[in-house]
Protein backbone atom coordinates (compact mmCIF):
# COMPACT_ATOMS: atom_id res chain seq x y z
CA UNK A 1 0.00 0.00 0.00
CA UNK A 2 1.26 3.54 -0.71
CA UNK A 3 2.65 5.50 2.23
CA UNK A 4 2.07 9.14 3.10
CA UNK A 5 4.53 10.83 5.43
CA UNK A 6 2.62 13.58 7.19
CA UNK A 7 2.05 15.48 10.41
CA UNK A 8 -1.48 15.79 11.84
CA UNK A 9 -1.11 19.58 12.16
CA UNK A 10 0.42 20.15 8.74
CA UNK A 11 -2.16 21.85 6.52
CA UNK A 12 -0.40 20.61 3.37
CA UNK A 13 -0.54 17.05 4.70
CA UNK A 14 -4.22 17.41 5.54
CA UNK A 15 -4.87 18.75 2.07
CA UNK A 16 -3.34 15.72 0.39
CA UNK A 17 -5.15 13.37 2.76
CA UNK A 18 -8.44 14.98 1.75
CA UNK A 19 -7.63 14.57 -1.96
CA UNK A 20 -6.76 10.91 -1.48
CA UNK A 21 -9.97 10.31 0.46
CA UNK A 22 -12.12 12.14 -2.11
CA UNK A 23 -10.62 9.96 -4.84
CA UNK A 24 -11.04 6.77 -2.80
CA UNK A 25 -7.37 6.00 -2.11
CA UNK A 26 -6.11 4.16 0.93
CA UNK A 27 -2.62 4.86 2.25
CA UNK A 28 -0.49 3.99 5.23
CA UNK A 29 0.12 7.11 7.31
CA UNK A 30 3.50 7.72 8.90
CA UNK A 31 3.73 10.68 11.24
CA UNK A 32 6.93 12.60 10.62
CA UNK A 33 8.42 15.21 12.90
CA UNK A 34 10.48 17.14 10.39
CA UNK A 35 12.54 18.99 13.01
CA UNK A 36 14.19 15.68 13.91
CA UNK A 37 15.77 15.62 10.42
CA UNK A 38 15.80 11.86 10.21
CA UNK A 39 18.33 10.59 7.69
CA UNK A 40 15.83 8.12 6.24
CA UNK A 41 13.25 10.84 5.67
CA UNK A 42 15.76 13.27 4.15
CA UNK A 43 16.74 10.51 1.74
CA UNK A 44 13.13 10.59 0.49
CA UNK A 45 12.88 14.38 0.41
CA UNK A 46 16.11 16.35 0.87
CA UNK A 47 14.04 19.51 1.46
CA UNK A 48 12.78 17.93 4.68
CA UNK A 49 9.20 19.10 4.10
CA UNK A 50 5.78 17.44 4.19
CA UNK A 51 3.85 15.74 2.73
CA UNK A 52 5.80 12.96 1.03
CA UNK A 53 4.05 10.19 -0.89
CA UNK A 54 5.68 6.85 -1.71
CA UNK A 55 3.71 4.68 -4.12
CA UNK A 56 3.65 0.88 -4.44
CA UNK A 57 6.65 1.01 -6.77
CA UNK A 58 8.64 3.03 -4.21
CA UNK A 59 8.50 6.15 -6.35
CA UNK A 60 8.60 9.32 -4.25
CA UNK A 61 6.55 12.49 -4.72
CA UNK A 62 7.06 15.48 -2.43
CA UNK A 63 4.96 18.59 -1.85
CA UNK A 64 1.24 19.34 -1.88
CA UNK A 65 1.16 21.03 -5.31
CA UNK A 66 3.21 18.27 -6.93
CA UNK A 67 0.86 15.66 -5.48
CA UNK A 68 -2.19 17.67 -6.55
CA UNK A 69 -1.06 17.70 -10.18
CA UNK A 70 0.04 14.05 -10.14
CA UNK A 71 -3.21 12.79 -8.62
CA UNK A 72 -5.28 14.92 -10.95
CA UNK A 73 -3.44 13.79 -14.08
CA UNK A 74 -3.44 10.11 -13.13
CA UNK A 75 -6.86 9.80 -11.47
CA UNK A 76 -8.78 13.08 -11.37
CA UNK A 77 -9.35 13.15 -15.12
CA UNK A 78 -11.20 9.82 -14.79
CA UNK A 79 -13.61 11.09 -12.13
CA UNK A 80 -15.69 13.29 -14.45
CA UNK A 81 -18.12 15.28 -12.27
CA UNK A 82 -16.12 14.30 -9.17
CA UNK A 83 -12.90 15.72 -10.57
CA UNK A 84 -11.51 18.43 -8.30
CA UNK A 85 -10.07 20.51 -11.13
CA UNK A 86 -12.30 22.23 -13.68
CA UNK A 87 -12.24 21.56 -17.42
CA UNK A 88 -12.22 25.26 -18.32
CA UNK A 89 -8.66 26.72 -18.40
CA UNK A 90 -9.66 29.93 -16.62
CA UNK A 91 -11.41 27.99 -13.87
CA UNK A 92 -8.37 25.74 -13.50
CA UNK A 93 -6.21 28.82 -13.05
CA UNK A 94 -8.57 30.18 -10.37
CA UNK A 95 -8.54 26.86 -8.50
CA UNK A 96 -4.74 26.82 -8.57
CA UNK A 97 -4.58 30.46 -7.45
CA UNK A 98 -6.77 29.86 -4.43
CA UNK A 99 -5.05 26.61 -3.56
CA UNK A 100 -1.77 28.51 -3.47
CA UNK A 101 -3.41 31.29 -1.44
CA UNK A 102 -4.35 28.94 1.38
CA UNK A 103 -1.31 26.65 1.27
CA UNK A 104 1.28 29.41 0.80
CA UNK A 105 -0.08 32.85 1.73
CA UNK A 106 -2.22 31.76 4.67
CA UNK A 107 0.46 29.27 5.68
CA UNK A 108 3.03 32.05 5.95
CA UNK A 109 0.71 34.54 7.64
CA UNK A 110 -1.16 32.29 10.04
CA UNK A 111 -0.95 28.51 9.98
CA UNK A 112 2.78 27.91 10.15
CA UNK A 113 3.62 30.41 12.92
CA UNK A 114 0.66 29.36 15.07
CA UNK A 115 1.32 25.64 14.78
CA UNK A 116 5.00 26.16 15.45
CA UNK A 117 4.35 28.21 18.58
CA UNK A 118 1.43 26.21 19.95
CA UNK A 119 2.19 22.66 18.79
CA UNK A 120 5.64 21.98 17.41
CA UNK A 121 7.56 23.78 20.13
CA UNK A 122 5.93 21.49 22.69
CA UNK A 123 7.29 18.47 20.84
CA UNK A 124 10.77 19.89 20.19
CA UNK A 125 13.74 19.72 22.49
CA UNK A 126 15.43 23.03 23.42
CA UNK A 127 18.20 22.19 20.97
CA UNK A 128 15.61 21.81 18.20
CA UNK A 129 14.03 25.17 18.98
CA UNK A 130 11.42 24.07 21.49
CA UNK A 131 10.26 26.13 24.43
CA UNK A 132 7.63 28.66 25.41
CA UNK A 133 5.47 30.26 22.70
CA UNK A 134 6.51 33.69 21.43
CA UNK A 135 3.65 36.03 22.38
CA UNK A 136 4.53 38.53 19.64
CA UNK A 137 4.28 35.87 16.96
CA UNK A 138 0.94 34.72 18.38
CA UNK A 139 -0.49 38.26 18.36
CA UNK A 140 0.58 38.90 14.78
CA UNK A 141 -0.74 35.57 13.52
CA UNK A 142 -4.07 36.02 15.28
CA UNK A 143 -4.50 39.46 13.74
CA UNK A 144 -3.84 37.92 10.33
CA UNK A 145 -6.52 35.27 10.85
CA UNK A 146 -9.27 37.88 10.68
CA UNK A 147 -8.12 39.15 7.29
CA UNK A 148 -7.98 35.66 5.83
CA UNK A 149 -11.39 34.78 7.25
CA UNK A 150 -12.87 37.92 5.70
CA UNK A 151 -11.54 36.87 2.31
CA UNK A 152 -12.80 33.32 2.80
CA UNK A 153 -16.24 34.69 3.73
CA UNK A 154 -16.31 36.81 0.58
CA UNK A 155 -15.45 33.82 -1.58
CA UNK A 156 -17.99 31.57 0.13
CA UNK A 157 -20.68 34.22 -0.08
CA UNK A 158 -20.23 35.03 -3.76
CA UNK A 159 -19.83 31.51 -5.19
CA UNK A 160 -21.38 28.08 -4.70
CA UNK A 161 -17.91 26.77 -3.78
CA UNK A 162 -14.77 28.83 -3.33
CA UNK A 163 -13.60 28.68 -6.95
CA UNK A 164 -16.91 28.24 -8.73
CA UNK A 165 -19.87 25.91 -9.05
CA UNK A 166 -18.12 22.68 -8.02
CA UNK A 167 -16.11 21.46 -5.10
CA UNK A 168 -12.43 21.80 -5.99
CA UNK A 169 -8.89 21.61 -4.69
CA UNK A 170 -9.34 25.20 -3.53
CA UNK A 171 -12.02 24.14 -1.04
CA UNK A 172 -9.88 21.28 0.25
CA UNK A 173 -6.84 23.51 0.64
CA UNK A 174 -8.84 26.10 2.57
CA UNK A 175 -10.56 23.47 4.71
CA UNK A 176 -7.25 21.78 5.53
CA UNK A 177 -5.80 25.07 6.78
CA UNK A 178 -8.97 26.11 8.61
CA UNK A 179 -9.26 22.71 10.32
CA UNK A 180 -5.81 23.15 11.87
CA UNK A 181 -6.79 26.55 13.25
CA UNK A 182 -10.16 25.25 14.38
CA UNK A 183 -8.54 22.38 16.27
CA UNK A 184 -6.61 24.98 18.26
CA UNK A 185 -9.71 27.13 18.83
CA UNK A 186 -8.21 30.07 16.96
CA UNK A 187 -11.28 30.97 14.87
CA UNK A 188 -14.20 33.03 16.12
CA UNK A 189 -17.01 31.55 14.05
CA UNK A 190 -19.54 34.10 15.29
CA UNK A 191 -17.66 36.73 13.29
CA UNK A 192 -17.83 34.71 10.06
CA UNK A 193 -21.23 32.98 9.67
CA UNK A 194 -20.86 32.62 5.88
CA UNK A 195 -17.48 30.93 6.22
CA UNK A 196 -18.95 28.77 8.98
CA UNK A 197 -21.73 27.52 6.71
CA UNK A 198 -19.19 26.67 4.01
CA UNK A 199 -16.96 24.84 6.52
CA UNK A 200 -19.92 22.85 7.84
CA UNK A 201 -20.47 21.48 4.34
CA UNK A 202 -16.83 20.41 4.14
CA UNK A 203 -16.84 18.87 7.62
CA UNK A 204 -19.85 16.75 6.67
CA UNK A 205 -18.05 15.02 3.83
CA UNK A 206 -16.82 11.45 4.46
CA UNK A 207 -13.28 12.49 3.49
CA UNK A 208 -13.17 14.72 6.58
CA UNK A 209 -14.02 12.06 9.15
CA UNK A 210 -10.46 10.83 9.77
CA UNK A 211 -9.27 14.39 10.42
CA UNK A 212 -12.08 15.07 12.88
CA UNK A 213 -11.34 11.85 14.75
CA UNK A 214 -7.62 12.57 15.08
CA UNK A 215 -6.11 13.89 18.29
CA UNK A 216 -2.73 15.50 18.94
CA UNK A 217 -0.83 14.18 21.91
CA UNK A 218 -0.98 16.66 24.77
CA UNK A 219 -3.32 19.09 22.98
CA UNK A 220 -7.08 18.77 23.38
CA UNK A 221 -9.13 20.22 20.50
CA UNK A 222 -11.75 22.91 20.99
CA UNK A 223 -15.06 21.37 22.12
CA UNK A 224 -16.85 21.85 18.78
CA UNK A 225 -14.00 20.53 16.62
CA UNK A 226 -15.69 17.25 15.64
CA UNK A 227 -19.24 18.63 15.81
CA UNK A 228 -20.80 18.82 12.35
CA UNK A 229 -23.50 21.23 13.52
CA UNK A 230 -21.40 23.54 15.66
Nearest CA to 60 out of 90, 82, 30 is that of: 30
Q: How high is the pLDDT of residue 76? A: 87
Cβ–Cβ under 8 Å, residues 31 and 79: no
- CB–CB of 62/146 below 8 Å? no
Cβ atoms of residues 148 and 109 within 8 Å: yes
Tell if the pTM clears 0.85, that is, is over it: yes
Over residues 150-179, the mean pLDDT reads 97
pLDDT average, residue stretch 126-136: 96
Query: Is the pLDDT confidence value at 211 over 90?
Result: yes
Query: What number of helices (H) and strands (E) belong to the chain?
Result: 11, 4
pLDDT at residue 91 in the model: 96
State what percent of residues in the chain have pLDDT above 70: 100
Amino acid sequence: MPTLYHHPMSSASRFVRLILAEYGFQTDLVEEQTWEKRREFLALNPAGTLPVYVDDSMRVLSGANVLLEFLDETHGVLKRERRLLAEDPFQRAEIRRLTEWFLVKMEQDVTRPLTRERVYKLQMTPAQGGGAPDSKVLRTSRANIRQHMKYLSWLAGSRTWLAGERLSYADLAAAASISVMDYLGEIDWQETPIAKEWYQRLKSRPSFRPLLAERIRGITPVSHYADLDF
